[in-house]
Amino acid sequence: MSLTWGVVDTSPFADPGDYEDLIYQYMGDNWSITSPAHLDKVTLFQTTDPSQMINRPDPGNKQTWFWVSSGTLETGRELPGSLIGKHGHIPHFHTFIFNIMTTRLVYGLTFPDLGIITREIERLVYQYDKNMITGIDHFDRFMSSAPLEATLVGPQFVAYAGTYIQQCSAIAHYFKQRLD
């Protein structure tokens, strides 16, 4: 007997890969900002081809950059004590974090770039249609944090003094199952 575990509605049946990378490519493919130029698709994602878009790129000397990371994941049987979970669909509620970083160019600048990008991410989250990303049914609960200097977020950003980060998140809903 062979056991297979994967995302419902995938063909061939499998795990489609790292969802944070697929979500990043979805964002880049559907990005609509054209002005200011440093926030357009080519500049922010470094290409117009989603298959070439690399999540968590090296920011180099860019003024603004964006990447998607995985947050909390909650799964469980829909009907405790039933066969769902053994042979049915197991719901997954997976939080993804949209990280936006920008450098301060002028003291006192209010960082309009963070607001522009945040609104674009929210638009893409709520205009998502089922299976635009393999297996993801829909997104909900868009949230956005206040901008902070990156050094206040954590020790991993100690080298980024004068750089500000804003984190948004949304929950992706998808289902997994096992096939015997």
Query: Confidence band (pLDDT; 50, 70, 90) for 169?
Result: very high
The 10s digit of each residue's pLDDT in 47-61 is 999 999 999 867 777
Query: What does the pLDDT average to over 125-130?
Result: 96
Instruction: Kindly report the pTM of this predicted structure.
Output: 0.87
The SS3 assignment for 162 reads coil
Q: What is the DSSP string of 97-156?
A: EEEEEEE--STT---HHHHHHHHHHHHHHHT--TTSSTT--EEEEEEEPPPEEHHHH-GG
Query: What is the average pLDDT score of the chain?
Result: 85
Give the chain's domains with CATH numbers: 4-179 (3.30.2000.10)
Report residue 148 CA to chain centroid gap.
19
Any idea what the Cα angle at residue 140 is, between residues 12 and 58, rounded to 5°? 70
C-alpha pair distances (Å), 171 with each of 57, 66, 143 = 23, 18, 9
Residue with tokens 């995985």: 70
